[in-house]
Amino acid sequence: MIFLSGKKVHFIGVGGASMSALIRWAKSYGAEVSGSDGAYSKTLSGLLEDGFDVYVGSDEKRISGVDIVVYTSAVNDENPELSRARSLKKTAVERHDFLGLLSENFKKVIAVSGTHGKTTVTSLIAAILKNSGKKFTAHIGGFSNDLGGNFVRFGDEILVTEACEYKGHFLSLHPDILAILNVECDHPDCINTLSDALSLFAEFARNVPNNGLIIKNSNVKYCDLHICKNVHIENFGGADAKWQAENIYSHGGICEYDILRNREYYMRVRPALLGRHNVKNVLAAVAVCDALSIDKNVMKEALENFKGVKRRLEKTGEVNGADVYVDYAHHPSEITASISAIKPVAKNRLFVIFQPHTFSRTAKYFQEFALSFNAADEVWFVPTYPAREKESDGKTSFDLFRYVDENVRPAEYVKDFVTVAKKIKETARAGDVIMILGAGDVDIIADLLKE
């Protein structure tokens, strides 16, 4: 890419799921890259192992030698490196705008949007594209086991990328194919109501060019999107949808079913995915790949050999004969779906350890969170992952624990991960399932259980 080749590009907040992909992407175009982050993480460790010049903290002296600075929305204006870049009048680009610029290099752009399921569906599409031999690039908000990471570049004909609604960031993209998996309100710090969320997705839908394609969940009504362009619409999941699943059979949490296109048999699949909620995710991925004229047998092979995504119903090991799973669920709907998916796997008790993500989200959906753990046998809460927030922005994990324990069901509150791991080792037995939920750093517990 001409504007990156030979340029020195620095990424502030490089430990993020998207940013760690973007630094690899920029390097693939011939840029000289570096990056910083506020904390050490597995992601940062992976970049270091692969030879990237990344570090924890800030070093504003390094900024004088760079051409472009890319930063995340989690980086505030007081960040020393960002402040220095602006004082030197360096080109400073926010993450989503940089993604938008990169997307302009492709003949066809596929954007996967929705409140839930983006990483899984983007990974499914990428796995199918890889199996098809097409020349594509994938930008994913999680580690795809099929691709060996969150970024691959096999060519510049097709781009498949996640498209996040947070603060309207997906508006930087103008996709030829847009998948809308579902719409809920999940970012109360910037999206207050479902109506606000729908308006934002409607604005994104208007970014699809004439003769483009929108593939949407039937639950997302056409009228809510206010689509007035000459775009093609395909629905999935509903009784009148183009793409449907029938004759669903579940065994041990894995679903097998017929896929129908326009009410006619298309193929029968048994994707390697836990949970009935993933049936719709597969329908979305198949609809996208059908639009790309990919052979359905190529799709079927990729779906049934799908290796999954880290922290998406990922089995990480065992302790005392109990299976340990880690999942990214951090919204009440996701928690309910994930517990429902894993319940058939548990031959004995299901333990759920939950770390709320942000105080504002906990406050906004307090009652919904409280009722989302009913199918678990044991529920333990650990301290909130604050991300960009402070306690005064909402409610804490302890607030949620106390309400659940007093009003809904017995629960426990554990103040640190080491104690949680110790309690699990003392309590778990064969046939149990330990489920670790949250979008923060709660997956550290799974690592502690391996020790």
Q: Which of 304, 329, 353 is the last residue of a domain?
A: 304
Residues 396 and 420 both lie in one domain: yes
Residues 187 and 239 both lie in one domain: yes
- Report whether pLDDT(311) > 60: yes
Q: Residue 82 domain-assigned? A: yes
- Report whether pLDDT(93) > 70: yes
CA dihedral (429, 332, 116, 324) in degrees, to 10, reads -10
In this prediction, residue 168 carries a pLDDT of 85
pLDDT band of residue 149 (cuts 50, 70, 90) is very high
In this prediction, residue 375 carries a pLDDT of 93
How far apart, in whole angstroms, are the C-alpha atoms of residue 98 and residue 91? Answer: 11
CATH code where residue 43 lies: 3.40.50.720
Phi, psi angles (nearest 5°) of residue 259: -100, 130
Residues 296 and 356 both lie in one domain: no
Q: What is the 3-state secondary structure (H, E, C) of the chain?
A: CCCCCCCEEEEECCCCHHHHHHHHHHHHCCCEEEEEECCCCHHHHHHHHCCCCEEECCCHHHHHHCCEEEECCCCCCCCHHHHHHHHCCCEEEEHHHHHHHHHCCCCEEEEEECCCCHHHHHHHHHHHHHHHCCCEEEEEEEEECCCCEEEEECCCCEEEEECCCHHHHHHHCCCCEEEECCCCCCCCCCCCCHHHHHHHHHHHHCCCCCCCEEEEECCCCHHHHCCCCCCEEEEECCCCCCEEEEEEEEECCEEEEEEEECCEEEEEECCCCECCHHHHHHHHHHHHHHHCCCCHHHHHHHHHCCCCECCCCEEEEEECCEEEEEECCCCHHHHHHHHHHHHHHCCCCEEEEECCECHHHHHHCHHHHHHCCCCCCEEEECCCECCCCCHHHCCCHHHHHHHHHHHCCCCEECCCHHHHHHHHHHHCCCCCEEEEECCCCCCHHHHHHHC
Q: Residue 2 domain-assigned? A: no
In this prediction, residue 69 carries a pLDDT of 97
How far apart, in whole angstroms, are the C-alpha atoms of residue 438 and residue 328? Answer: 5
Q: Residue 328 domain-assigned? A: yes
Q: Which of 273, 304, 335 is the last residue of a domain?
A: 304
Q: What is the mean pLDDT of residues 253-260?
A: 95
- Report whether pLDDT(294) > 90: yes
Residues 6+ apart with CB under 8 A from 346: 431, 432, 433
pLDDT band of residue 35 (cuts 50, 70, 90) is very high
pLDDT in tens, 38-73: 988 889 999 999 999 999 999 999 999 999 999 998
pLDDT in tens, 111-128: 999 999 999 999 999 999
In this prediction, residue 46 carries a pLDDT of 94
Residues 124 and 88 both lie in one domain: no
Q: What is the mean pLDDT of residues 270-287?
A: 95
In this prediction, residue 420 carries a pLDDT of 97
Residues 147 and 172 both lie in one domain: yes
- Report whether pLDDT(144) > 60: yes
Q: What is the mean pLDDT of residues 339-365?
A: 94
Residues 429 and 323 both lie in one domain: yes
Residues 108 and 75 both lie in one domain: no
pLDDT band of residue 228 (cuts 50, 70, 90) is low
Residues 271 and 139 both lie in one domain: yes
pLDDT in tens, 8-19: 999 999 999 999
How far apart, in whole angstroms, are the C-alpha atoms of residue 22 and residue 16? Answer: 10
Phi, psi angles (nearest 5°) of residue 122: -60, -40
CATH code where residue 440 lies: 3.90.190.20
pLDDT band of residue 2 (cuts 50, 70, 90) is low
Q: Roughly what angle, to the nearest 10 degrees, separates helices 17-28 and 95-103?
A: 40
Q: Residue 49 domain-assigned? A: yes
- Report whether pLDDT(417) > 60: yes
pLDDT band of residue 76 (cuts 50, 70, 90) is confident
Task: Flag whether the pTM goes above 0.85.
Answer: yes
Residues 289 and 364 both lie in one domain: no
Residues 320 and 239 both lie in one domain: no
Q: Which of 304, 324, 353 is the last residue of a domain?
A: 304
Q: Residue 3 domain-assigned? A: no
Residues 251 and 367 both lie in one domain: no
pLDDT band of residue 223 (cuts 50, 70, 90) is low
- Report whether pLDDT(97) > 70: yes
Q: Residue 115 domain-assigned? A: yes
Residues 6+ apart with CB under 8 A from 421: 445, 448, 449, 451
In this prediction, residue 195 carries a pLDDT of 85
**Selection from 398, 311, 319, 385 nearest residue 351 by Cα:** 319
In this prediction, residue 18 carries a pLDDT of 95
Distance linking the first and last C-alpha atoms of the chain: 45
Q: Residue 1 domain-assigned? A: no
Averaged pLDDT of the chain: 93
In this prediction, residue 450 carries a pLDDT of 87
Domain hosting residue 376, numbered range: 314-450
Residues 264 and 167 both lie in one domain: yes
- Report whether pLDDT(362) > 60: yes
pLDDT in tens, 370-381: 999 999 999 999
How far apart, in whole angstroms, are the C-alpha atoms of residue 303 and residue 82? Answer: 42
In this prediction, residue 451 carries a pLDDT of 66
Q: Residue 14 domain-assigned? A: yes
% pLDDT > 90, the chain: 85
Q: What is the mean pLDDT of residues 135-143?
A: 96
Q: What is the mean pLDDT of residues 416-443?
A: 95
Q: What is the mean pLDDT of residues 180-203?
A: 84
CATH code where residue 125 lies: 3.40.1190.10
Q: What is the mean pLDDT of residues 73-95?
A: 93
